């Protein structure tokens, strides 16, 4: 069978600049995770801590003076930090939060743009035994409030402009004890709130060395909130043990070598930005670029040329935007340093894989994983040919399956539910405070991913779609309930139903169907007001891009909005069984 009309891209291993780290068939056949456990350093007391594996193991050895971070700010500022310098900054921050009374297991959240101080705070908090929760810097007040309330965060690290954006929700955060404000290079002239702490002042008086808390591999380390079809976002909690797989996938799926210059374009507020913008590269001891600015095709190519990027990890939406900018733009730059390119966040269409091969003389290597999996689970590897449009093959040590609704295996080539056999090192260990939801994700010896897929005769997996209503917009998973909840807070809105509408660049955009309360009439002005309202509460990335006024929303007799019908009607698809609808 064929799953893509595009031919397989053949690899000439002898012509590669660097021999791939992984011999897939040899390793997968008799792999034991203990091999990866043995490659890590571990704490002197026998524990495991992500900050030690990413920073201190290098700072205490021959890589002390090696560049860990090359930082370029959005205004053109440039800074560099060695592993030794990273250790000092992270040690100091660990001392700062310890002085504030933070204990093992307390939650420390970070709401910042990509400044060096974000990374110092992240690893410093891990050293102190805290559980770190990174937040997307574009979030509006409501998503920040929901996540801080649910997690019971005691410390928030932020910056002046973002602190001002969420001023109104601070009184609702009853467990929040301290706000630490980073004002890098005094960028923001306005004084900080007198109740807040100055990052710079606290760091200036903190000791420059710290003995890492002897966390075990089973202690919680990071929590990322993930959206679902009902209820507010849920905090997926990972353990320090996840670093085993983050290290392994950096080595195998991203083919990181010690002399690489690596660039991951993901924001640290999302799991890719932590697992592969911090942990995978630095546990492998490579130098990485951190760019604070946003997307601009010419600037991205300029960064690759200037810093001689060798391994580049980005997202399908960004690749499609690069394609739209035209083939002539990359040809104005020297891209010869690149040797491996990868993509994640949503399915990468085969045209983009082929385009990469034509423009850069190498394909983009798509891979698949989730917030809950913590690390890459299925990938196209440097050592193998690439089938454009495929997710690739499972990571050594990971067992994937395609099953039907009874959890029986389906034949090769047939669509089914994508499941994973539990036990991989980076598997999440719970949804914070929601054991029933966590338990519902496991059935008959499988973790249920919520994705549908198929497998071909060569063992390559192909993504088909989501099995729920979660919207994937530019790689951001948006729960429709969260958007609907924001919209109905507006005094004009009676009900709201939200779907994902196909989009050629972002994969999906958020579209809302709104019914109005008596006394309000639909108008262009009201539509624009609702868009502004939702953006102020959520963020531009999450808020609806389209709003359509409707007289009423299709609902079941129990009152549940039928998003499936909204989507079918929007796309002109069959509506299926409507016998359960209430009388309209």
* Three-state SS letters, 129-162: CCEEEEECCCCCHHHHHHHHHHHCCCEEEECHHH
Residues 428 and 503 in one domain: no
pLDDT of residue 556: 63
115 CB burial (10 A radius; 0-12, 13-18, 19+): buried
Of 358, 272, 274, which Cα lies nearest the Cα of 317? Answer: 272
Whether 576 is in a domain gets the answer no
Beta bridge partners of 311: 262, 340
pLDDT of residue 244: 98
Domain residue limits at 438: 13-452
Whether 5 is in a domain gets the answer no
Residues 215 and 301 in one domain: yes
Residues 434 and 478 in one domain: no
- Residues 510 and 471: beta-carbon distance below 8 Å: yes
Q: Residue 27: phi, psi to the nearest 5?
A: -75, -45
Beta bridge partners of 342: 313, 365
pLDDT of residue 342: 98
Whether 4 is in a domain gets the answer no
pTM to 2 decimals? 0.89
Whether 580 is in a domain gets the answer no
pLDDT of residue 557: 54
Of 260, 314, 255, which Cα lies nearest the Cα of 286? Answer: 260
Q: What is the pLDDT along the chain (584 residues), one digit of tens a residue?
A: 346 678 999 999 988 989 999 999 999 988 999 999 999 999 998 999 999 999 999 999 999 999 999 999 999 999 999 999 999 999 999 999 999 999 999 999 999 999 999 999 999 999 999 999 999 999 999 999 999 999 999 999 999 999 999 999 999 999 999 999 999 888 888 888 889 999 999 999 999 999 999 999 999 999 999 876 667 889 999 999 999 999 999 999 999 999 999 999 999 999 999 999 999 999 999 999 999 999 999 999 999 999 999 999 999 889 999 999 999 999 999 999 999 999 998 888 899 999 999 999 999 999 999 999 999 999 999 999 999 999 999 999 999 999 999 999 999 999 999 999 999 999 999 999 999 999 999 999 999 999 889 999 999 999 988 777 778 888 777 878 778 878 988 999 988 889 989 898 988 999 999 989 889 999 999 999 999 999 988 888 889 999 999 988 887 655 667 887 888 888 887 776 554 455 44
Q: Which residues contact 149 (CB under 8 A, 6 or more apart)?
A: 172, 173, 175
Residues 446 and 479 in one domain: no
336 Rama sector, left if φ>0, alpha if ψ -120 to 50, beta otherwise? alpha
Dist. CA 77–CA 88, nearest whole Å = 22
pLDDT of residue 192: 80
Whether 583 is in a domain gets the answer no
Whether 200 is in a domain gets the answer yes
Residues 243 and 152 in one domain: yes
Whether 273 is in a domain gets the answer yes
464 CB burial (10 A radius; 0-12, 13-18, 19+): middle
Dist. CA 91–CA 377, nearest whole Å = 32
pLDDT of residue 151: 98
Residues 517 and 420 in one domain: no
- Residues 321 and 296: beta-carbon distance below 8 Å: no
Residues 446 and 527 in one domain: no
Helix (H) or strand (E) holding 477: strand 476-478
Q: How many folded domains does the chain comprise?
A: 2
Q: Where residue 514 sits, what CATH number does that domain have?
A: 3.30.300.30
Residues 478 and 423 in one domain: no
Dist. CA 216–CA 206, nearest whole Å = 26
Residues 32 and 85 in one domain: yes
423 Rama sector, left if φ>0, alpha if ψ -120 to 50, beta otherwise? left
Instruction: Among 396, 424, 452, identify where a domain stops.
Output: 452
Residues 481 and 511 in one domain: yes
> Is residue 235 classed as helix, strand or coil in its secondary structure?
strand
Q: Residue 147: phi, psi to the nearest 5?
A: -75, -40
What number of helices (H) and strands (E) belong to the chain? 19, 27
Of 484, 545, 546, 540, which Cα lies nearest the Cα of 138? Answer: 540
- Residues 284 and 313: beta-carbon distance below 8 Å: no
CA 418 to chain centre: 20
Whether 463 is in a domain gets the answer no
Dist. CA 90–CA 88, nearest whole Å = 6
Residues 439 and 498 in one domain: no
DSSP structure class, residue 293: S
Alpha helices in 427-479 (DSSP H): 435-439
DSSP structure class, residue 264: E
Residues 115 and 56 in one domain: yes
Alpha helices in 326-455 (DSSP H): 350-360, 435-439
Q: Where residue 329 sits, what CATH number does that domain have?
A: 3.40.50.12780
């Amino acid at each position: 069978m064929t799953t893509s009309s595009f031919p397989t891209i053949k690899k000439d291993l002898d012509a590669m600049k660097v021999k791939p780290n992984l011999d897939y068939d040899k390793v997968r056949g008799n792999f034991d995770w203990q091999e990866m456990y043995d490659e890590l350093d571990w704490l002197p007391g026998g524990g495991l801590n992500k900050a030690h594996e990413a920073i201190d193991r290098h700072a205490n050895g021959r890589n002390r003076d090696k560049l860990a971070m090359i930082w370029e700010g959005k205004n053109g500022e440039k800074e560099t930090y060695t592993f030794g310098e990273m250790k000092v900054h992270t040690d100091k921050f660990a001392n700062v939060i310890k002085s504030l009374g933070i204990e093992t297991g307390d939650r420390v959240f970070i709401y910042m743009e990509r400044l060096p101080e974000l990374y110092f705070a992240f690893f410093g908090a891990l050293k102190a035994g805290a559980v770190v929760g990174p937040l997307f810097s574009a979030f509006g007040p409501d998503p920040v409030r929901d996540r801080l309330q649910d997690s019971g965060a005691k410390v928030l690290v932020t910056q002046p402009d973002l602190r001002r954006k969420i001023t109104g929700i601070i009184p609702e955060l009853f467990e929040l004890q301290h706000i630490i404000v980073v004002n890098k290079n005094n960028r923001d002239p306005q004084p900080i709130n007198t109740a807040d702490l100055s990052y710079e002042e606290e760091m200036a008086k903190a000791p420059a060395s710290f003995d890492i808390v002897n966390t075990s591999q089973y202690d919680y380390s990071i929590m990322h909130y993930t959206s679902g079809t009902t209820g507010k976002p849920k905090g997926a909690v990972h353990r320090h043990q996840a670093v085993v797989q983050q290290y392994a996938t950096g080595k195998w799926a991203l083919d990181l070598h010690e002399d690489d210059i690596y660039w991951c374009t993901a924001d640290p507020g999302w799991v890719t930005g932590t697992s592969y913008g911090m942990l995978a590269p630095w546990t492998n001891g490579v130098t990485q670029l951190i760019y604070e600015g946003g997307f601009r095709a010419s600037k991205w190519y300029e960064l690759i040329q200037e810093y001689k990027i060798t391994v580049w990890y980005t997202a399908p939406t960004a690749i499609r935007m690069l394609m739209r900018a035209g083939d002539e733009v990359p040809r104005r730059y020297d891209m010869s340093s690149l040797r491996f390119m990868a993509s994640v966040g949503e399915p990468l269409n085969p045209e983009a894989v082929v385009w990469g091969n034509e423009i850069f003389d190498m394909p983009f290597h798509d891979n698949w994983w989730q917030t809950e999996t913590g690390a890459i689970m299925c990938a196209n590897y440097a050592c193998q040919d690439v089938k454009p449009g495929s997710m690739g093959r499972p990571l050594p040590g990971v067992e994937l399956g395609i099953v039907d609704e009874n959890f029986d295996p389906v034949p090769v080539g047939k669509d089914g539910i994508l499941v994973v056999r539990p036990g991989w090192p980076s598997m999440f260990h719970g949804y914070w405070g929601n054991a029933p939801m966590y338990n519902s994700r496991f059935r008959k010896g499988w973790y249920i991913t919520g994705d549908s897929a198929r497998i071909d005769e060569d063992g390559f997996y192909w993504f088909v779609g989501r099995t729920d209503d979660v919207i994937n917009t530019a790689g951001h998973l948006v729960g429709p309930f969260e958007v609907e909840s924001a919209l109905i807070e507006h005094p004009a809105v009676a009900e709201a139903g939200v779907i994902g509408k196909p989009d050629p660049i972002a994969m999906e955009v958020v579209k809302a169907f709104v019914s109005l309360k008596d006394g309000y009439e639909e108008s262009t002005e009201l539509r624009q007001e609702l868009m502004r309202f939702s953006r102020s509460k959520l963020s531009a990335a999450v808020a609806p891009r389209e709003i359509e006024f409707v007289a009423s929303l299709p609902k079941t007799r129990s009152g549940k909005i039928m998003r499936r019908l909204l989507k079918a009607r929007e796309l002109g698809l069959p509506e299926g069984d409507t016998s359960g609808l209430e009388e309209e």
